[in-house]
Amino acid sequence: MSTQTSALARATGPLSGHTVIDLTRALAGPHAGMMMADLGARVIKVETPGHGDDTRGWGPPFVGPEDDPQATYFLSCNRNKESIALDLKSEDGKNTLTALLREADVVMENFRPGVLDRLGFSTEAMHALNPGLVVLSITGFGHDGPEAARAGYDQIIQGEAGLMSLTGSGPQDPQRVGVPIADLLSGMYGAYGVLAALIERQATGRGQVVRTSLLASVVGVHAFQGTRATVANEVPQAQGNHHPSIAPYGLFACKGGHVQISVGSEKLWAAFAAAFGLDAARPEFASNATRVRHRAAVIAEVERAFAAYGPAELLDLLNQAGIPAGKVRTLDEVYAWDQVASQGLKVDVEHPVLGTVTLPGPPLRFFDPATAEETTRTAHTAPPLLDADGAAIRDWLATGVAR
């Protein structure tokens, strides 16, 4: 057994003892699989022989030796997994996947609707092999409906699902979010659905099919912007770095930079106005509703008050006044921040090509009050090389170690 596989076998967490077969590629499904691996599941990533997951070739940036470059994109969503390369059109590939499905608790796929059916692995066929199997299926626009056959890519979905109309400096400046948020959200929703299905399986003994899509994931987080449209019959539009329903709340200029503030209550507004010499009772500023209606005047007044202070001094003054505030950090500043390190949001792993590398860490932590100890997984493994665990996985299936 390889060092990587040994480390995976020692994984702890709420999903320890569960096996996940990850047939997905790109980002949505792999992110869901990584979430389950972070929770202690054994996640076996099935990849296409020769080139593997598409993201192995998504770059630049690539790192490592010129004859074996590693895509940082792939590194972002595949930690704590094993890799086996299978040609699912071949007899050997189908037989190996069949054996894996018999031993699995979860299988994840993000093929277009109908692809797995044509390969011989329809939902009915997989449940005939393993009635307790939970199947996670992620598509672009949904599994049915008039546009189910469309290919779903993150930025296209951000536009189609309305997110870009809410993001940007104004209505004529639609912008995508700076990370592939539709992919990430659909992976998160998918993992959340899998956990619910695993809980239900304890009562029924049967696995369910969990379905989500990039479209559903974005519509699912419209939040108050959605109810503005469906209840208030308003059409929300992008308005830059200021909150559409609260004022002052957003990014404000000061001497030599910017700060962000969130004045989310009348109590905070009174404290903020007193700290910076503003007239809290001025008619157009007297309530949040009037401040929202006169947002431009509020912004101008706040920035006049801030003009005398640099960002660091201003943040100190805001903190003293009890006003929620912060700066805009670049990512190098984020990963150098001691608060980020304290939350386990950076993990060091040993990569077989790159050596020690630092990855963004898992966002969940677990604490056992009975022992007063944190039970969060702390031993992590690097994203695997293509087929790095293929031989070990085949041995596991062949020698009867599998349950």
Q: Which residues contact 220 (CB under 8 A, 6 or more apart)?
A: 185, 189
Q: Is residue 231 part of a domain?
A: no
Q: Are residues 121 and 268 in the same domain?
A: no
Assess contact for 273 and 282: CB atoms under 8 A: no
Q: Are residues 202 and 317 in the same domain?
A: no
223 vs 216: CA distance, rounded Å: 13
| pLDDT tens column, 93-151 | 999 999 999 999 999 999 988 899 999 999 999 999 999 999 999 999 999 999 999 99
Q: Are residues 360 and 216 in the same domain?
A: yes
Catalytic-role residue among 154, 183, 387, 389: 183
Instruction: Tell me the one-letter amino acid at 148.
Output: A
Q: Which has more pLDDT, 13 or 208?
A: 208
Q: What is the pLDDT of residue 9?
A: 46
Q: Is residue 124 part of a domain?
A: yes
Q: Are residues 214 and 351 in the same domain?
A: yes
Q: What is the pLDDT of residue 12?
A: 81
Of 296, 326, 356, the position where a domain reaches its end is: 326
Q: Are residues 290 and 390 in the same domain?
A: no
Q: What is the pLDDT of residue 15?
A: 95
Of 281, 297, 326, the position where a domain reaches its end is: 326
| pLDDT tens column, 311-332 | 999 999 999 999 999 999 999 9
Q: Are residues 155 and 262 in the same domain?
A: no
Residue 1: pLDDT band (50, 70, 90) is: very low
Q: Are residues 104 and 174 in the same domain?
A: yes
Q: Is residue 127 part of a domain?
A: yes
Q: Are residues 346 and 296 in the same domain?
A: no
CATH number at residue 312: 3.30.1540.10
Q: Is residue 306 part of a domain?
A: yes
Q: Are residues 37 and 109 in the same domain?
A: yes
Please tell me the total count of domains within the chain.
2
Of 326, 356, 375, the position where a domain reaches its end is: 326
Q: What is the pLDDT of residue 403?
A: 45
Domain that holds residue 299: 249-326
| pLDDT tens column, 353-369 | 999 999 999 999 999 99
Q: Is residue 288 part of a domain?
A: yes
User: CB pairs under 8 A, 24+ apart, for 292-296?
Assistant: 292/244, 292/245, 292/246, 292/247, 295/242, 295/247
Percentage of residues of the chain with pLDDT beyond 70 = 96
Residue 10: pLDDT band (50, 70, 90) is: low
Q: Are residues 281 and 365 in the same domain?
A: no
Residue 265: pLDDT band (50, 70, 90) is: very high
Q: Is residue 177 part of a domain?
A: yes
Answer yes or no: is pLDDT of 5 > 90. Answer: no
In this prediction, residues 304-314 reach a mean pLDDT of 96
> For this structure, is 183 an active site residue?
yes
The pTM is what? 0.92
Q: Are residues 151 and 172 in the same domain?
A: yes
CATH number at residue 54: 3.40.50.10540
Q: Is residue 86 part of a domain?
A: yes
In this prediction, residues 36-43 reach a mean pLDDT of 97
Average per-residue pLDDT in the chain?
A: 94
Q: Are residues 268 and 186 in the same domain?
A: no
Q: Is residue 334 part of a domain?
A: no
